[in-house]
Amino acid sequence: MRSRLMPVAVLAIAGFATAALVASGGNAQAPGARTLTFKELNRGSTFNFVDNAPLSRKRHGFPVSSSPGDLIMFSTRLADQAGKVAGTLEGTCTVVKGSRSFEQSQFICNAVASLTGGTMTLEARAKFSENTTTAAITGGTGAYNGARGTFKSVTRNDRSTDTFSLLAG
């Protein structure tokens, strides 16, 4: 279970990181309508599970089930298309619909991407059994003040490819 759950969770989380980096275009530019695509490096990511009552059964240290209120906390470094570190993404995902199968649990996730020139916020519904995650860019600070848009993260063979659409102005 550990070998299956950790990559799935990290890849779902990678979608958030990818969206944040794509929104920045790798640097602090004024927002404009555009669509960008890139891959994320997962090296250096952290992942923690907080099991609130009722406690979930575990296999190899990872939950096999979940209940509402359980949390995932994550942090990951962001890299641009050239592989250069461009910022960090930190966030939480809260179980809103538990399941006997952790992969079938439904989460609401919130994250903050800290990038050169400012931050961006993301919000999504996630289900770790799905290969595609769609999220909203809900705002930002500094160079990303008022940022909004959507992104789609598609995971195949333990790799995420994300397309981010930033709205103009």
Domain extent at residue 88: 2-166
Structure pTM? 0.75
Q: What is the mean pLDDT of residues 104-113?
A: 91
pLDDT at site 158 = 73
Percentage, residues of the chain above pLDDT 90: 22
pLDDT at site 6 = 44
Nearest residue to 145 (alpha-carbon basis) of 21, 23, 17, 13 = 23
Between residues 33 and 119, which one has the greater pLDDT? Answer: 119
Calculate the CA 63 to chain-centre distance. 19
**Average pLDDT for the chain:** 76
pLDDT at site 43 = 77
Between residues 43 and 24, which one has the greater pLDDT? Answer: 43
Number of domains into which the chain is organized: 1
Contact between residue 153 and residue 8 where contact means Cβ atoms under 8 Å apart: no
pLDDT in tens, 36-92: 555 666 777 888 999 999 998 888 888 899 999 999 998 877 777 787 787 777 889
Instruction: Give the span between the Cα atoms of 43 and 15, in whole angstroms.
Output: 14
Between residues 10 and 119, which one has the greater pLDDT? Answer: 119
Between residues 31 and 66, which one has the greater pLDDT? Answer: 66
Q: What is the mean pLDDT of residues 3-23?
A: 43
- In sequence order, which residues have a C-beta less than 8 Å from that of residue 102 and are 6 or more positions away? 5, 56, 62, 63, 64, 65, 66, 128
pLDDT at site 140 = 83
Secondary structure letter of residue 81 according to DSSP: T
Q: Please tell me whether the peptide bond between 54 and the residue prior to it is cis, using omega within 30 degrees of 0.
A: yes
Residues in the chain: 169
Query: For the domain that residue 66 is a member of, what is the CATH number?
Result: 2.40.480.10
Tokens 């920045």 locate to: 24
pLDDT at site 40 = 66
pLDDT at site 21 = 40
Contact between residue 38 and residue 80 where contact means Cβ atoms under 8 Å apart: yes
